[in-house]
Structure 1
Amino acid sequence: MTTSRKTYVILAAGGSAVMLFGAMVVFQRLMDLPPCAMCIWQRWPHAAAVAIGLLALMIQGRILPALGALAALTTGAIGVYHFGVEHKYWDGPASCTGSGLSGMNVTDLLAVDSGPKLVMCDQISWELLGISMPGWNAIISFILAFIWIKAVLASRPTAG
């Protein structure tokens, strides 16, 4: 039995939609875990993959599934980078890591309490089986990229 291009597109784009739902509704709203800047960066390629998937259901060809794969690989790569920042394998952006606080005084730090909850990119806010959210995002995104590639391959014209 051969899986169709349409099925692969629905699975891949639907996977990104589920990832967005999980991040924005389950973690952010229900579990009260606001995102850091790098978490937001990981959401944009998922949103692009959902839009690409909707277009790919209406427009045939290999270009849109290839773009979907690129979007999934992009969010996966950001997830790997973020995972490394959380685990101190490498430095992250000073704007959202502990190193970004070095120029702040006590008054600046106390002012944070009056605004939204400050979330640092180098702090692990949730993990499952020893893997944090960006790690899971990377793993799932690379699986979604594989599904997008299957959609590309299913788009090839068959010899008749």
Structure 2
Amino acid sequence: MRASDFRAGVLVLVLGVVALATAFGAQGLLGMAPCELCLWERWPYRVLIVLGVVALCVPPRPRRVLLWLAGLTLLCGAGIGFLHVGVERHWWPSPLPECNASNIVARSVGGLIANLPAAPAKPCDAPNFLIPGLPISFAAMDFILAAVCAVALLAYLSRSRAG
């Protein structure tokens, strides 16, 4: 069980690095502009990297706790991904003010200009498609990845605990 927990820690670390590398690669190399929800979707993977590194440096018992935290982090990531997919599909509006129109209620033109963002942001309901011809947005791919990995990690931890 100890060696397999160590391998699970390595996989958590690799998952975080690959997910962030993909996001930054799509942004830098493919020119995909991230919206505010896209940026939020990156945070769970940053947390996974930290949990993975720490899990590789601690004894087996705390490692197991860190792996459970990684599973919960992936569930949070899946939740953010699902929220973003819902915004993209217009099931609900984005809860983030950066994704919505700026506040146009102002007492003066100066107040209106002060409410405008410094640079126009990509709207959160405009999906990015990583693979041409595949009608699955980047946010949907993130949701699927996070959900599948969360279920797999939590199932592994539950099964190996019972065994």
Q: Same fold (TM over 0.5)?
A: yes
C-alpha displacement at 1:118, in angstroms?
2.3
C-alpha offsets along residues 82-138 of structure 1, whole Å, 9 cap, x if unaligned?
Answer: 0000110111135233x4146299x96xx97xx656211111122542111111001
Q: Secondary structure at the match of 2:140?
A: helix
- Does residue 71 (structure 1) correspond to residue 73 (structure 2)? The answer is yes
Q: Give aligned pairs, total.
A: 149
Amino acid at match of 1:43: R
Contact 1:11 1:147 in 2 (8 A): no
Contact 2:129 2:135 in 1 (8 A): no
Q: 1:1-160 alignment to 2 at 5 Å?
A: 4-24=4-24, 26-59=25-58, 60-61=60-61, 62-93=64-95, 95-97=97-99, 99-101=100-102, 103=104, 116=119, 118-128=121-131, 129-150=134-155, 152-153=157-158, 156=161
Task: Provide runs of 4+ in structure 1 moved above 6 Å.
Answer: none
The unaligned stretches of length 5 or more in structure 1 are none
* Cα 1:45/1:19, change in 2 over 3 Å: same
Amino acid at match of 1:50: I
Normalised by the size of structure 2, how large is the TM-score? 0.77
Contact 2:127 2:139 in 1 (8 A): no
* Cα 1:140/1:38, change in 2 over 3 Å: same
* Cα 1:89/1:157, change in 2 over 3 Å: closer
The unaligned stretches of length 5 or more in structure 2 are none
C-alpha offsets along residues 61-94 of structure 1, whole Å, 9 cap, x if unaligned?
Answer: 2210011011111111100000000110111135
Amino acid at match of 1:77: G
In 2, Cα distance between the equivalents of 1:11 and 1:147?
Answer: 11
Q: Give the root-mean-square deviation of aligned CA atoms.
A: 2.7
C-alpha offsets along residues 19-61 of structure 1, whole Å, 9 cap, x if unaligned?
Answer: 100001x211001112111111111111001110111112222
Contact 2:16 2:46 in 1 (8 A): yes
Amino acid at match of 1:27: A
Q: Secondary structure at the match of 1:32?
A: coil
C-alpha displacement at 1:153, in angstroms?
4.1
Q: Secondary structure at the match of 1:103?
A: coil
Normalised by the size of structure 1, how large is the TM-score? 0.79
Q: Percent identity?
A: 26
